[in-house]
């Protein structure tokens, strides 16, 4: 029992340190630092939310940007009419319901079919919004004029990231998280053990979608101008996937380990090689899948396993490594 | 046949795959505490019948009752909660989870779900029961074939089933493993678990089963004690063909 407690304690300390750090950040760094921090926080939430569902279940989703874009568009359409808190709740709520409906009809698909469907879904939503804006609303783009500063965006994102870690931790140690891991291993076994697999999958998928929409809504004021190709840019889905895989999707803290280097790398690539960005994105993807298939967190786990195998007999959970 | 209390009652069940009737108007009863062997040549519909009872498949017609309650057509998770556990013809363990978690998979979602530290100690007890106490922290994928079978049995027993379905649980074992496995099943039987087993290993059937139901081409061709049922001319013909006397 000492190991999980120590790990939990460490997690709590790191979480608090992170929250305090980001809360104080705006008084220390300038505009560029803030915009980098927003990028970092945005991808940290997206990748962690992605991994909360796709990590244990093995259902690889490319619909991240669909929910992100729903959040951004909720702000673009309703941002000036409703109080900010209500807009955020609504954004999360809409994404939750959309994910629920989509999940009920598609999470019965397995493996590669789900990947393709989720990608198609994001494109479909983008095209529908495009069509609506150009034929019904009169103009493809919208302006977002809200009195929200960069600092406020950082603070909001920090709060959401902290909330996500708490929710993710609670899910992981609950029967829902356990059932999701069973589903990832063998759906048939899960089903015959009494797990309502559709309910579990749809529930966690929708919850992760709500977090993605929150991010979209919070960062929308930063753009001032918004159109479907910005809000529903498929690159975001792929970037999130790469970050989560690099960090390791099977651990709660895993995606974070991928987000830090990747945000810096993408920053570098997009300023120095703007025209080659997509190509380099693809190369990075290949390199990660070949070199660290289970991510940095997976590497850490296998080192721990090897260490325990060499020095058996210390903590309680030893027998497995022998 | 006078059965004290009927646990499972299969009535006129039919399941078609296209024009093939894999199970054709089949009826049989299983009494509480009984071990019944479901036998028949390859392709006679035994596994299909198991899948119909466990909910993996839905029947086209007929009734399946567990202790009087209709379960035909319910999804497998509902049937598992009603008290039917199963093992699979091709053994299935959760590969990335260690053995204790594999057993907790059966403990956490059944009729009386157990979770937390209670599940840990119950899980360890179950692993001990199937002779795998020393394997708590081994991953499912690292187990030998025999141990995977034991683990599957422990997971099924974790559901505290009223009825346990074993689909060729003894298949693929070598002679010494077979002796061990039969001994293990005898132990489980001693604890009063009702079982239906699809099996080709005749020694196991003779030593474990109270009764046999023998199928051919989706229909029941004989029923009775193993010795009686296997001696029926219809059964001999199904297994060996018309010129069996030659």
Q: What is the CATH number of the domain that holds B79?
A: 3.40.50.300
Identity of the residue in A188, A193, A196 whose CB atom sits nearest the CB atom of B105:
A193
CA distance B164 to B186: 13
pLDDT value, residue B200? 87
Q: Return the closest-CA partner of residue B130 out of B185, B179, B48, B53.
A: B185
pLDDT value, residue B87? 95
> Is B229 a residue whose pLDDT tops 80?
yes
Task: Give yes or no: residues B169 and B245 share one domain.
Answer: yes
Two structure tokens written together for A213: 């929409």
SS3 of residue B82 by DSSP: helix
Mean pLDDT of A160-170: 96
pLDDT value, residue B100? 95
Is residue B218 domain-resident? yes
Rounded mean pLDDT of chain B?
91
Task: Give yes or no: residues B182 and B142 share one domain.
Answer: no
CA distance A179 to A228: 36
Instruction: Assess A189–B contact: CB distance below 8 Å, yes or no.
Output: yes
Is residue B88 domain-resident? no
Task: Give yes or no: residues B74 and B167 share one domain.
Answer: yes
Q: Place A56 in a pLDDT band, splitting at 50, 70 and 90.
A: very high
SS3 of residue A252 by DSSP: coil
Identity of the residue in B104, B105, B113 whose CB atom sits nearest the CB atom of A189:
B105
CA distance A20 to A27: 12
Instruction: Give, as one character, the DSSP assignment of residue A196.
Output: -
> Is A3 a residue whose pLDDT tops 80?
no
Task: Give yes or no: residues B50 and B8 share one domain.
Answer: yes
Task: Give yes or no: residues B3 and B60 share one domain.
Answer: yes
Task: Give yes or no: residues B27 and B70 share one domain.
Answer: yes
State the smallest CA–CA distance between residue A305 and chain B in angstroms.
Answer: 12
Q: What is the span of the domain harbouring residue B186?
A: 1-83+162-246
Task: Give yes or no: residues B69 and B113 share one domain.
Answer: no
Two structure tokens written together for B176: 């010494």
User: How many CB contacts within 8 angstroms connect chain A with chain B?
Assistant: 81
CA distance B213 to B220: 7
DSSP labels, B99-133? HHHHHHHHHSSSSS---THHHHHHHHHHHHHTT-G
Q: Do A192 and B85 touch (CB under 8 A)?
A: yes
State the smallest CA–CA distance between residue B236 and chain A in angstroms.
Answer: 35
Q: Do B80 and A193 touch (CB under 8 A)?
A: yes
Tokens 């081409």 belong to which residue? B217
SS3 of residue B18 by DSSP: coil
pLDDT value, residue A312? 59
Task: Give yes or no: residues B182 and B238 share one domain.
Answer: yes
Using only the alpha carbons of chain B, give its radius of gyration.
18
pLDDT value, residue B90? 92
* pLDDT tens track for B184-218: 999 898 888 999 999 988 888 998 999 999 999 99
pLDDT value, residue A28? 82
* pLDDT tens track for B49-73: 999 999 999 999 999 999 999 999 9
* pLDDT tens track for A223-282: 889 999 999 999 899 999 989 988 988 888 899 999 999 999 888 888 888 888 888 888
> Is A318 a residue whose pLDDT tops 90?
no
* pLDDT tens track for B3-12: 468 999 999 9
Nearest CA in chain A to B111: A194
Last residue within a domain, chosen from B160, B179, B197 = B160
Task: Give yes or no: residues B73 and B105 share one domain.
Answer: no
Q: What percent of chain A has pLDDT over 90?
A: 55
Identity of the residue in A182, A196, A320 whose CB atom sits nearest the CB atom of B138:
A320
What is Dmax (Cα atoms) for chain B? 63
Task: Give yes or no: residues B105 and B132 share one domain.
Answer: yes
ipTM: 0.91
* pLDDT tens track for A58-94: 999 999 999 999 999 999 999 889 999 999 999 999 9
Sort out which chain B residues have CB atoms less than 8 A from A197's CB and list them. Answer: 77
Last residue within a domain, chosen from B160, B192, B212 = B160
Alpha helices in chain A (DSSP H): 2-28, 31-57, 64-78, 84-106, 112-132, 150-173, 175-185, 187-192, 197-219, 228-231, 234-247, 254-272, 277-291, 295-310
Instruction: Give, as one character, the DSSP assignment of residue B57.
Output: S
Is residue B200 domain-resident? yes
Task: Give yes or no: residues B124 and B201 share one domain.
Answer: no
SS3 of residue B63 by DSSP: strand
Task: Give yes or no: residues B155 and B169 share one domain.
Answer: no
Last residue within a domain, chosen from B106, B129, B160 = B160
> Is B98 a residue whose pLDDT tops 70?
yes
Nearest CA in chain A to B96: A185
Instruction: Assess B122–A contact: CB distance below 8 Å, yes or no.
Output: no
Sort out which chain A residues have CB atoms less than 8 A from B114's CB and list them. Answer: none
> Is A1 a residue whose pLDDT tops 70?
no
> Is A160 a residue whose pLDDT tops 50?
yes
pLDDT value, residue A310? 73
Q: Do B137 and A178 touch (CB under 8 A)?
A: no
Is residue B89 domain-resident? no
* pLDDT tens track for A143-156: 888 889 999 999 99
Is residue B27 domain-resident? yes
Q: How many structural domains compose chain B?
A: 2
SS3 of residue B77 by DSSP: helix
* pLDDT tens track for B141-166: 999 999 999 999 999 999 999 999 99
pLDDT value, residue B1? 47
Q: Do A181 and B155 touch (CB under 8 A)?
A: no
Angle CA A104–A107–A109, to nearest 5: 125
- At residue B217, φ and ψ (nearest 5 deg) are 50, 40
pLDDT value, residue B130? 92
pLDDT value, residue A106? 84
């Amino acid at each position: 029992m000492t190991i999980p407690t120590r790990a939990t304690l460490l997690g709590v300390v790191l979480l608090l340190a992170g929250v305090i750090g980001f809360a104080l950040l705006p008084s220390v760094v300038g505009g560029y630092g803030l915009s980098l921090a927003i990028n970092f926080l945005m991808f940290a939430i997206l990748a962690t939310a992605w991994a909360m569902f796709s990590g244990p279940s093995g259902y690889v989703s490319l619909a991240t940007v669909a929910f992100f874009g729903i959040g951004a568009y909720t702000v673009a359409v309703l941002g000036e009419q409703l109080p900010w808190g209500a807009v955020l709740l609504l954004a999360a709520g809409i994404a939750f319901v959309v994910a629920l409906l989509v999940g009920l009809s598609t999470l019965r698909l397995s493996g590669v079919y789900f990947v393709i469907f989720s990608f198609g879904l994001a494109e479909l939503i983008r095209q529908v919004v495009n069509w609506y804006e150009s034929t019904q609303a009169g103009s493809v783009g919208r302006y977002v004029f809200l009195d929200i500063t960069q600092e406020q965006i950082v603070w909001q994102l920090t709060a959401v990231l902290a909330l996500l870690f708490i929710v993710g931790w609670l899910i992981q140690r609950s029967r829902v998280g356990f059932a999701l891991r069973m589903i990832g291993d063998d759906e048939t076994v899960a089903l015959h053990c009494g797990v309502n697999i559709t309910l579990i999958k749809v529930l966690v998928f929708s919850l992760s979608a709500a977090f993605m929409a929150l991010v979209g809504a919070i960062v929308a004021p930063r753009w001032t101008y918004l159109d479907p190709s910005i809000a529903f840019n498929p690159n975001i889905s792929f970037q999130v996937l790469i970050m989560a895989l690099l960090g390791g999707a099977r651990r709660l803290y895993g995606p974070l380990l991928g987000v830090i280097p990747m945000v810096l790398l993408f920053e570098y690539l997009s300023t120095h090689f703007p025209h080659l960005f997509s190509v380099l994105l693809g190369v990075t993807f290949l390199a990660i899948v070949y070199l660290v298939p289970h991510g940095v967190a997976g590497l850490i786990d296998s080192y721990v396993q090897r260490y325990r195998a060499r020095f058996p007999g210390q903590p309680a959970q030893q027998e497995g490594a022998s | 046949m006078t059965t004290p209390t009927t646990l499972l009652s299969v009535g006129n069940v039919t399941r078609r795959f296209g024009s093939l009737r894999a199970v054709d108007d089949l009826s049989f009863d299983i009494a509480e505490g009984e071990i019944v062997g479901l036998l028949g040549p390859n392709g006679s519909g035994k596994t299909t019948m198991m899948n119909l009872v466990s909910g993996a498949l839905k029947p086209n017609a007929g009734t399946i009752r567990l202790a009087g309650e209709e379960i035909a057509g319910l999804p497998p998770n509902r049937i598992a909660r009603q008290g039917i556990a199963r093992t699979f013809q091709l053994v299935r363990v959760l590969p990335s989870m260690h053995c204790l978690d594999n057993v907790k998979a059966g403990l956490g979602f059944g009729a009386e779900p157990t979770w937390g530290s209670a599940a840990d100690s119950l899980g360890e007890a179950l692993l001990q029961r199937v002779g795998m106490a020393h394997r708590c922290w081994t991953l499912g994928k690292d187990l030998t074939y025999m141990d995977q079978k034991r683990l599957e049995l422990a997971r099924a027993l974790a559901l505290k089933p009223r009825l346990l379905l074993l689909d060729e649980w003894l298949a693929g074992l070598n002679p010494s493993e077979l002796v061990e496995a039969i001994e293990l099943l005898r132990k489980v039987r001693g604890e009063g678990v009702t079982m239906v087993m699809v099996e080709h290993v005749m020694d196991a059937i003779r030593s474990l089963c109270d009764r046999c139901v023998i199928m051919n081409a989706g229909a029941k061709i004989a029923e009775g004690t193993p010795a009686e049922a296997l001696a029926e001319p219809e059964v001999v013909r199904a297994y060996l063909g018309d010129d069996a006397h030659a």
